[in-house]
Amino acid sequence: MGKTGNILVVDDDQDILIAARLLLKRHFSSVSTTNRPDQVKEILNDRDIDAVLLDMNFALGEDTGTEGLHWLNEILSEKPDMIIIVITAHGGVELAVEAMKRGATDFITKPWENEKLVSTLRTAVRLARYGRETEKLKNRSREIQHSLNHQDRMIGDSDAIKQVMDIILQAAPTDANIMILGENGTGKELIAREIHRQSLRKDNGIITVDLGAISENLFESELFGHKKGAFTDAREDRTGLMQAAEGGTLFLDEIGNLPMALQTKLLTALERRQVTPVGSNKSVEIDIRLISATNISPEALGQDNIFRQDLRYRLNTVEIHVPPLRDRRSDIPLLLDHFVRHYAKKYNQLVRPISKNAHKMLADYHWPGNIRELRHGVERAIILGKADQLEATDFPIRTDSNDAIFSPSEAIGDEKITLEELEKNALENALRRHQGNISRAAKELGITRASLYRRMEKHEL
């Protein structure tokens, strides 16, 4: 078994420190020792320590453990999440219990058994790293949550979007599972975040999982976690994303593209409300609020050979249908104004008005790429527009004849098209032909789903 973990041993007996160091250095990455507990805080701030082995008595002849409890409190006041194993004399179970009440993780009695000490510290290291990884994931989700300012709010006052907002208002404060249906680019993830923002779990963060980008062989590891050595590249324990969302919201995006075999595994986890990390025989209970989304049509979603109906019923206690932009055209002026201001600020430019001709062209356009396409068009216009106002020629639109994206100014007397534009057109056409189904579009293009996602992100599709 490979060495991992950094241990700090604190004891006033130099012989104990030497014995501990000689034993533990064969099993852990590093072993630090000190006979002065007043140095522990400084050591913890200077070094990456996973677990502390702390003696409970330091003064000569002392056996009450008072000093040990004092230094235990001192360490935890500085490092509340530090894993501390206390060392007590044989028969000092009451003292050990008191130490654990105050925050110690476990205890070892003197004289210790080598195998017992090593095993206890290995567990402590795994616990420390599990806690740090979980907290890191939760911190990331909290940062995302805290960054959701006004620019990420839902925009619109059309009847279609008001219906969506009404459902969110009613469903968000409950723990009901919600499935969001809608075409690519309609803002499904934005709606998921809005649901979380209005939920009772809003302080615990939201974790987004793009199921379409997870390969089948890594699905269980990503969602459920794994134990060290579970497979070739499992060099350490890993917390699954479902565990990392504990107490908060888990958003499963692109769930409609999940292969049937993986749908079964996900259903089992949701029914049992627990996950079993790969390589472990112990299940872990989970407490999450589940939101999912897909661009597959309700008709296709109802077909047994595409999506398990028992999984669908597990996911769609509440179902939200997000309208395409063409069905909420009255929101286009509001969206245009919002994105113009946003990108003018981003690129340090003055806010320029959109001409009447451009407004009419944009209002009449069918927007197959929905809000994502509109946002991209405004960004491009802000960057490349040269006049005091944004004209129709500044916005890329699709023609009805060949579905290619082009700007009218580029089409006059200029038939050149770049390789980048050809790739983007091919992606858009494939996605449109397959109604946004990633798996089918990727198969037609002869690339993997992950590769298609990377290209979609590159071209902001």
Mean pLDDT of 83-110: 82
pLDDT for 335-368, tens place per residue? 999 999 999 998 899 999 999 999 999 998 999 8
Position 151 scores a pLDDT of: 45
pLDDT for 50-72, tens place per residue? 999 998 887 655 667 788 898 99
pLDDT for 309-328, tens place per residue? 999 999 999 999 999 999 99
Mean pLDDT of 451-456: 76
Please tell us whether the domain made up of 148-323 is placed in CATH 3.40.50.300. yes
Whether a cis peptide bond, with omega within 30° of 0, leads into 408 is: no
Mean pLDDT of 16-25: 89
Give the type of residue at 45: N
Domains 6-131 and 148-323 alike in fold: yes
Whether the pLDDT of residue 263 is over 60: the answer is yes
Mean pLDDT of 143-154: 53
Listed range (140-154, 295-309, 349-363) with the worst mean pLDDT: 140-154
The distance of Cα 294 from the centroid of its chain, to the nearest Å, equals: 17
Would you say the C-alpha torsion 21, 23, 26, 28 has a positive or negative sign?
negative
CB atoms within 10 A of CB 338: 18
Task: With H, G, I as helix, E, B as strand and everything else as coil, classify residue 344.
Answer: helix
Task: With H, G, I as helix, E, B as strand and everything else as coil, classify residue 220.
Answer: helix
Q: For residue 90, count CB atoms less than 10 angstroms from its CB and return exposed for 0-12, middle for 13-18, buried for 19 or more.
A: exposed
Residues 6+ apart with CB under 8 A from 256: 294, 295, 296, 300, 301, 306, 307, 437
Q: What percent of the chain has pLDDT over 70?
A: 88
Position 405 scores a pLDDT of: 42
pLDDT for 386-445, tens place per residue? 889 999 988 877 544 334 444 444 443 344 456 677 778 788 888 877 777 777 787 777
CB atoms within 10 A of CB 146: 9
Task: Kindly report the CATH class assigned to 6-131.
Answer: alpha beta
Q: Where are the domains of the chain?
A: 6-131, 148-323, 327-458
CATH number of the 327-458 domain = 1.10.8.60
Local confidence band at 78 (pLDDT 50, 70, 90 cut-offs):
confident
Whether the pLDDT of residue 281 is over 50: the answer is yes
Local confidence band at 137 (pLDDT 50, 70, 90 cut-offs):
low
The string over 441-453, giving b where at least 16 C-beta atoms fall within 10 Å of a residue's C-beta and e elsewhere, is bbebbebebeebb
Most confident of 229-233, 384-388, 452-456: 384-388
318 pairs with which residues across the strands? Answer: 178
Helices (H), ranges, 105-158: 114-146
Would you say the C-alpha torsion 185, 154, 330, 358 has a positive or negative sign?
negative
Mean pLDDT of 293-310: 89
The model's pTM is 0.59
Local confidence band at 91 (pLDDT 50, 70, 90 cut-offs):
low
Whether the pLDDT of residue 271 is over 80: the answer is yes
Query: What CA–CA distance (Å, rounded) separates 196 from 291?
Result: 9
Instruction: Match 């992100």 to its residue by tokens.
Output: 457
Whether the pLDDT of residue 48 is over 80: the answer is yes
Position 46 scores a pLDDT of: 83
Q: What percent of the chain has pLDDT over 90?
A: 33
Whether the pLDDT of residue 143 is over 70: the answer is no
Instruction: Match 């979380």 to its residue by tokens.
Output: 196
Query: What CA–CA distance (Å, rounded) separates 33 from 35?
Result: 7
Position 315 scores a pLDDT of: 94
Mean pLDDT, the chain, as a whole number? 83
Query: What CA–CA distance (Å, rounded) separates 362 from 93?
Result: 76
Query: What CA–CA distance (Å, rounded) separates 55 from 57?
Result: 6
Query: What CA–CA distance (Å, rounded) separates 311 from 265?
Result: 10
Packing angle, helices 159-171 and 188-197, rounded to 10: 40
